[in-house]
Amino acid sequence: MNNQLTLPAALSSVNWRSLAGPLLVIMILAMMILPLPPFLLDILFTFNIALAIMVLLVSLYTKKTLDFAVFPTVLLITTLLRLSLNVASTRVVLLEGHTGPDAAGKVIEAFGHFLVGGNYAVGLVVFVILVLINFVVITKGAGRIAEVSARFTLDAMPGKQMAIDADLNAGLIGEDAARKRRAEISQEADFYGSMDGASKFVRGDAVAGIMIMLINIVGGLVIGVLQHNLDLATAARNYALLTIGDGLVAQIPALVISTAAGIVVSRVATDEDIGQQMLGQLFSRPQVLMLTAGIIGVMGLIPGMPHFAFLLLAILLGGLAYVVSHRTAAAEPQLPHQEVLATEIQDASWEDVMPVDTLGLEVGYRLIPLVDKAQDGDLLKRINGARKKFAQEVGFLPPAVHIRDNLELRPNAYRITLKGAEVGHGEAYGGMYLAINPGRVTAVLPGAATQDPAFGLPAVWVEAALRDQAQTHGYTVVDASTVVTTHLNHLIHSHAAELLGRQELQQLLDHLGRNAPKLVEDLVPKLLPLSALQKVLQNLLEEGVHIRDMRTIVEILAEHAPRTQDTNELTVVTRNALGRAIVQQFYAPGAELQVISLNHDLESILMQAVQSSTVSGAGIDPGLADTLLKEASAAAQRQEQLGLPVVLLVPAQIRVLLSRFLRRAIPQLKVISHSEVPDSKSIKVTSILGGKA
């Protein structure tokens, strides 16, 4: 069997559209080398003018820049086409210019005679003016707009991509729509970047046009006088007119293309083309038209002014204002007042009420790269890791952190919110490292001095090159993402009780119910309402007690709930049941408990205060409270210096009182009771409040 295709079959299988671009470029380059007859030059110059008009019209009817994404390439090809035609026509002008003004074709002759009246001095001035307009005004402005647009488009990409991710996560769009929108953002940035470079072609074309004109005039005079024995006036008239016609026939399409480039990059994308935008926004306000008509009319009455032109235009503008005002009034619906009110009431809905994020992170625009995966930002990954670690350590999954950019913040600032209220803020610098001083550094580093936003330790922001040096001097060095994540993690642990809402608690019970369904059913809601269970767990979390052992918690509450519904009493019995886990949070297994304790007399006074007080946590004498606070703060500082846990051991009757009293002033101090300490643990008192060890 013959597997070879015949020539007609092979030609029919060729995709001619894919060959159009290469063939066009090859033909343009060939024009620079091969001589072209005047007739073919006329055809190609006419095609160049038609192509410029087509490009201008397409740019006028384009609604979005990406609808004409091939424009930078078209700009390059048309510039190359004009230069090729200049080279081809220059060859014909210099070879045949002595024969007359039509030596290079009828198109060049028409532009040299008709447009400038056969006067090469006028033609020279017109040509220079066109080049200056193209080079100095249109091309320079379009290039600047393209440069700024490219810069702002690139700066806005992370925010746009975050918005797409947010819409995708919220279910507002599908994966295909998100992929399409990401591609459009990337194409838009590529377009403006290409336009920034393509505008340089047009500017170079204008310079080349001036150089080609000067070379043609000088070369034509030399050739005409020395080779063809023409007198200087005849040579100047022939070659100058041909050169100026050649320049005009190339520069006019160049001016049209440059205008199209300016229109493409300067327009704001809407659902309307340029004509609709101009008519809809420039001539849609009758007040503006009426005032303009009045001013022009007054100017037309000034003696010496051309009255007819000014007054005619004033009348036309006044008539247009009248028509627009009546059309606008007719377009407005005349509804009764009651119907307008009903429409306003109907427009408002519960959809207008925006929910408050439980956990939020707002970042300045310079921190957007930290959360943008396209720029290798790893903050989202770190935050997810922090939530996972929190769930493993504390015992429930915290709400998701909603991240958004906030232009009201400083560029490098961030803000952490809890239920819409700020609970923490700080600054981070991408590409730099925070060197934290833990108290034993050996040198001072150059950089911006600050404080660790999570724990308030002295720190300094240093360049990446100083990272190893900072570690050598004893600093703890972390990057910007770690700074934000650590701060967020610290605040999540500090506000764990507030993060345990009804929804999180129900999810926790559902998770426990998969393994022990009967245990959960017997407690909630038969013996204890969900709100009471939530309060008990929040009490535990407020004092830094994890709730990982939910089985024990539910069993203890199920045992004591028939006897009492007091959440404070239920918290006490739950803490006693979790005593081993509570102690293990502060001490390693098998370690001796080195604790702070109370003087016996002070214990008696506090017990009397509790018994005589009708309100829990009240009744301490102000003088005694001040002394107790000072001694507890000093003892906590000594414990930290010794590297020991800051734990105060007290009788069970006064544990709640002291915990609430000392928690706000000394947050690192944990108060436990004797009943929470396992019998197998040995205790050593390192400090006594109200006495000596």
Lowest-confidence segment of 114-123, 286-295, 382-391, 530-539 by average pLDDT: 114-123
The strand ranges marked E within 276-400 are: 359-363
**361 bridge partner residues:** 403, 416
Q: Do the domains at 359-498 and 586-693 have one common CATH topology?
A: no
Confidence of residue 555 (pLDDT cuts 50, 70, 90): very high
The residue type at 52 = A
CA 47/CA 408 separation, integer angstroms: 54
> Tokens 């320079």, residue?
140
Give, rounded to a whole angstrom, the gap between the first and last alpha carbons of the chain.
Answer: 107
Q: Are 528 and 557 in contact (CB under 8 A)?
A: yes
**Do residues 287 and 97 touch, judged by C-beta distance below 8 A?**
no
- 3-state secondary structure at position 400: coil
Once rounded to an integer, what is the mean pLDDT over residues 257-272?
73
Do the beta carbons of residue 264 and residue 62 sit within 8 Å? yes
At the fourth CATH level, the homologous superfamily of domain 500-577 is: FHIPEP family, domain 3 (1.10.8.540)
**Angle separating helix axes 274-282 and 38-61, nearest 10 degrees:** 50
For position 339, what pLDDT does the model report? 47
Per the CB < 8 A criterion, the answer to whether 403 and 162 are in contact is yes
Asked if residue 687 lies in contact with residue 638, where contact means CB atoms within 8 angstroms, the answer is yes
Q: pLDDT for 612-627, tens place per residue?
A: 764 444 567 888 888 8
Q: What Cα–Cα distance (Å) separates residue 184 from each residue in 64, 67, 157, 177, 191? A: 11, 11, 11, 11, 10
pLDDT of residue 335: 43
Q: Is the pLDDT of residue 332 over 60?
A: no
What is the reported pLDDT for 194?
A: 76
pLDDT for res 230: 75
Question: Is the per-residue pLDDT at 143 higher than 90?
Answer: no
Residue that wins the pLDDT comparison between 255 and 379: 379
% the chain with pLDDT above 90: 26
Q: How confident is the model at residue 648 (pLDDT cuts 50, 70, 90)?
A: very high
> Given this model, what pLDDT does residue 613 score?
63
Q: What is the average pLDDT across 166-179? A: 67
**Least confidently predicted of 29-33, 114-118, 125-129:** 114-118
Contact yes or no for 364/405 (Cβ under 8 A): yes
For residue 242, the tally of other CB atoms under 10 A from its CB is: 31
Q: How many angstroms separate the Cα of 569 from the Cα of each of 309, 564, 576?
A: 96, 8, 11
CA torsion sign for 443, 447, 449, 454 is negative
3-state secondary structure of 124: helix
**Predicted pLDDT at 578:** 93
Rounded Cα–Cα distance for residues 425 and 487 (Å): 9
What is 359-498's CATH topology? Glutaredoxin (3.40.30)
Mean pLDDT of 23-27: 79
Give the SS3 label for residue 23: helix
For residue range 373-430, list pLDDT tens digits in order: 777 788 888 898 889 999 999 999 999 999 988 888 998 999 999 998 999 999 999 8
Report which of 83, 31, 94 is spatially closest to residue 221, judged by C-alpha positions: 94
Q: CA-to-CA distance for 195 and 142, rounded, in angstroms?
A: 9
Bigger pLDDT: 635 vs 157: 635
Cα-based torsion angle of the residue sequence 312, 318, 319, 322 in order, rounded to the nearest 10 degrees: 180
Mean pLDDT of 74-100: 77
> Alpha helices, DSSP H only, in 332-466?
337-347, 368-371, 379-394
Q: Is pLDDT larger for residue 9 or for residue 243? A: 243
The beta strand positions in 233-364, using DSSP E, are: 359-363
Mean pLDDT of 65-79: 79
Domain boundaries, the chain: 26-276, 283-327, 359-498, 500-577, 586-693
Provide the pLDDT for residue 551.
93
Return the ∠ at Cα 55 (arms to 51 and 60), rounded to 5°.
Answer: 145
Number of C-alpha atoms within 13 angstroms, CB side, residue 268?
3
- For 351-368, the pLDDT digits (tens) are 767 778 899 999 998 898
Across 49-58, 73-82, 325-334, 550-559, the highest mean pLDDT is recorded for 550-559
pLDDT (tens digit, 9 = 90+) per residue, 589-610? Answer: 877 889 999 998 888 888 888 8
User: pLDDT value at position 166?
Assistant: 61
633, burial (CB in 10 Å: exposed 0-12, middle 13-18, buried 19+):
middle
Mean pLDDT along residues 287-301: 83
Give the integer Cα–Cα distance in Å for 393 and 548.
7
Confidence of residue 341 (pLDDT cuts 50, 70, 90): very low
Whether residue 165 has pLDDT greater than 70: no
Class of domain 586-693: alpha beta
Average pLDDT, the chain: 81
Q: Is the pLDDT confidence value at 262 over 50?
A: yes
Region 539-551 average pLDDT: 93
pLDDT at 69 over 50: yes
- Number of Cβ within 10 Å of residue 329's Cβ equals 10
Out of 219-233, 270-284, 512-526, give the one with best mean pLDDT: 512-526
**CA–CA distance from 411 to each of 29, 229, 265, 377, 544 (Å)?**
50, 74, 28, 17, 35
The 3-state DSSP class for residue 258 equals helix
The CA radius of gyration of the chain, in Å to the nearest whole number, is: 41
Tell me the C-alpha distance between 141 and 131, whole Å.
14
Q: What is the pTM of this model?
A: 0.52
Altogether, the residues listed in the chain come to a count of 693
SS3 (DSSP) at 594: strand
Residues with Cβ within 8 Å of residue 435, at least 6 apart in sequence: 445, 447, 459, 460, 461, 462, 466, 470, 475, 476, 477
HEC profile of 533-570: HHHHHHHHHHCCCCCCCHHHHHHHHHHHCCCCCCHHHH
